[in-house]
Chain A
Amino acid sequence: MTAVLSVKGASKRFGAVVGLDDVDLDVRAGEVLALLGDNGAGKSTLIKALSGALPLDRGVIEMDGRRVSFHSPAAARNVGIETVYQDLALFDNLRPSDNFYAGREAAGPRWLPQSIRVLRRKEMAATTKSTLERLQVRLDDHGAVGLLSGGQRQAVAVARAAAFASRVVILDEPTAALGLRESRRVLDLILRLREEQKAVIVVSHAMDHVMEVADRAIVLRRGRKVGELVPNKETYAQIVSLIVGGGA
């Protein structure tokens, strides 16, 4: 199967510090790819480059074999890449449907400037409801997101990404701040994204979660790709060793 998203020779420097050094990455439809590494390994830099938040110094990003370049998060979203940041980037004061559509509101008439178009609130609420149902997330659209539990908030952020990501969903530490039960629900959500043939990139420190959901894992250290393995019981020790720098 060909890759949906490919990165070739990605390099990024921050002054004297090497953020990324000639990193290659491929992710296919219906695959969960784990991006692993210790703090400062370059995971966040790579994620930011893929989500349009940080331009690369060198390297090529391709979608379905075609070269693309992102100058903003909006540009990445336009080609079907959605990112769930660690801080979730939710608006606690707004309802789930408002969160779903923030910055891309369904509104008309189209001949008016975007800011003074009239919101199509029913349409936005219906789409949000159907997306949440499809992903088996149970919550209503009446209250503000700030009143939801941590797991429900995470679910809203993931569902928002799933609703608009036609190709790739990137999740940065999706279970970092969650308890056992809520982590379970988010992992189920990731598996549903895979069932929907989305390409999923997960950045996580939780190795047991990676073992459970990831089809492949790429390990970064000091900005370089140091390994690519299928995560399972047999490769667990090898992955940990690559992360901490003990050699493969």
Chain B
Amino acid sequence: MGGGRVRVEMAATAPHDRQYRALHAALLGLRAGPALILFLLVVVVSLTTPVFFTSRNIGDVFSQTAVIAILGLGQLLVIITRGIDLSVGSTVALSGVVGAIVFLHVHSTVLVILAILGVGVAVGLCNGLVFVLGRIPHPFIVTLASLSIVRGLALWAGNGTLIPGMPHAVDTLGGGTIHWLPYSFFVVVGLALLTLVGTTYLVWGRWLYAVGGNPDAARRAGIPVGRVLVTVYVLSGLAAGVGGLLTAGLLDSGSPTAGDLAELDSIAAVIIGGAAFAGGRGNVGNALVGAFTIGVIRNALNLHNVNAFYQLMAIGVVVLLAVEGDVIRGYVETRVRLARATRAG
């Protein structure tokens, strides 16, 4: 009797369990998807282009991807809180131009670096304060406005042209290498570690995800939502300042057209990497995987002599696929929830 009952129960629960396990496996697959795609991409490109896996080319990929990765780390924080920062590309330009102007007047490496980073922080602070204190429903319009204002300021300050000259240390940071590894790679690693610590181990990081997950509940829980949002835009601005520093070093000048469309690259990196555009979900790995996916695609197409126009289209298609992957992930998560309810019932 007892054995019979056990068999009946097993027969009743086994399909639920199988379905639950299958859904869970699908969810794990979707979570690991972006990293797996990057890995496959690297394998395929290495097999089709022997040049790809040479130390010099890998160094180039790191160098070309560094600014996208750094902007992506800042953009990640913003996107986790359900926001967007469209001003980062313009901030790259303005910070470089201001740095070049400071260098024209004062030959101080420290002052130039402080000026470049200070511009980033100032733009981010303005974005954050206008968004929070102005009670604007979404930061899209705020940062769209600052995209235009800041780019205009860069063109005005630079008189529409390149301002040559940067301190040697800035040039080295932006364009120098240790053997084949660019210094900018170490800047990316350093910032990624700082972002990882901030988002994973600090109270601020927990607040960040809480604000992105449920802003109303965050307010009711006593989390200083406004302050968290302002810090997020300041850090995104600071990341843009670091991006400006590396770009100015690479160009040995301040260019008012630098960072053109970099805001879109940074958003694409975060989304391709697997963070949720709707907010609340994403990590440092997502931003880095996304940035390097963009970098590897561009490099591979360059190595195959594919027209640059096609590169833009390829990145666009990958972004669409990533967003669709996010939609599928949401669908699978709902199914997992239902399967859990069925199992619990």
Contact = CB atoms under 8 A, between A and B. Distances in A.
A116 to B, nearest CB: 6
B281 interface: yes
Contacts of A179: 345
B222 A151 contact: no
Given A146-B333, A151-B341, A179-B345, A119 B201 contact: yes
A102 B210 contact: yes
B212 A115 contact: no
B221 interface: yes
A10 B202 CA distance: 41
B165 interface: no
A182 B345 CA distance: 8
A98 B214 CA distance: 13
A102 B345 CA distance: 29
A94 B213 contact: yes
A117 B221 contact: no
A118 B202 contact: yes
A73 to B, nearest CB: 5
A44 to B, nearest CB: 14
A187 to B, nearest CB: 16
Contact of A102 (B201, B217, B227, B337): B217
Nearest to A145: B213
Nearest to B223: A103
Nearest to B281: A93
B280 interface: yes
Contact of B203 (A90, A105, A152): A105
A132 to B, nearest CB: 14
A74 B222 CA distance: 6
A90 B214 contact: yes
A94 B209 contact: yes
A151 B209 CA distance: 23
Nearest to B342: A149
B275 to A, nearest CB: 11
Contact of A117 (B203, B218, B220, B228): B203
A101 B227 CA distance: 19
B203 A53 contact: no
A92 B341 contact: no
Nearest to A149: B341
Interface string A85-104: 10101111110001001111
Contacts of B281: 93
Name B's interface SS.
helix
B333 A102 contact: no
> Chain B contact residues (Cβ within 8 angstroms of A): what range?
20 to 34
Interface string A139-151: 0000000111111
A72 interface: yes
Interface residues of A, number: 36
Contact of A93 (B209, B231, B341): B209
B206 interface: yes
A181 interface: yes
Contacts of A115: 202-204, 207, 224, 227-228, 231
B217 A91 contact: yes
A39 interface: no
A141 B202 CA distance: 19
Interface in B290-345: 333, 336-338, 340-341, 344-345
B280 A181 contact: no
A149 B214 contact: no
B222 A146 contact: no
Given A102-B210, A149-B340, A152-B340, A116 B204 contact: yes
Interface string A146-160: 111111100000000
Contacts of B222: 72-74, 77, 103-104
A82 to B, nearest CB: 11
Contact of A89 (B216, B228, B338, B344): B216
A148 B337 CA distance: 5
Contact of B221 (A93, A103, A116): A103
A116 B231 CA distance: 12
Given A85-B220, A91-B218, 4 more contacts: A90-B214, A115-B224, A116-B204, A149-B340
Interface of A: 53, 72-74, 77, 85, 87, 89-94, 98, 101-105, 107, 114-119, 146-152, 179, 181-182
5 contacts: A98-B206, A98-B209, A103-B221, A119-B203, A149-B338
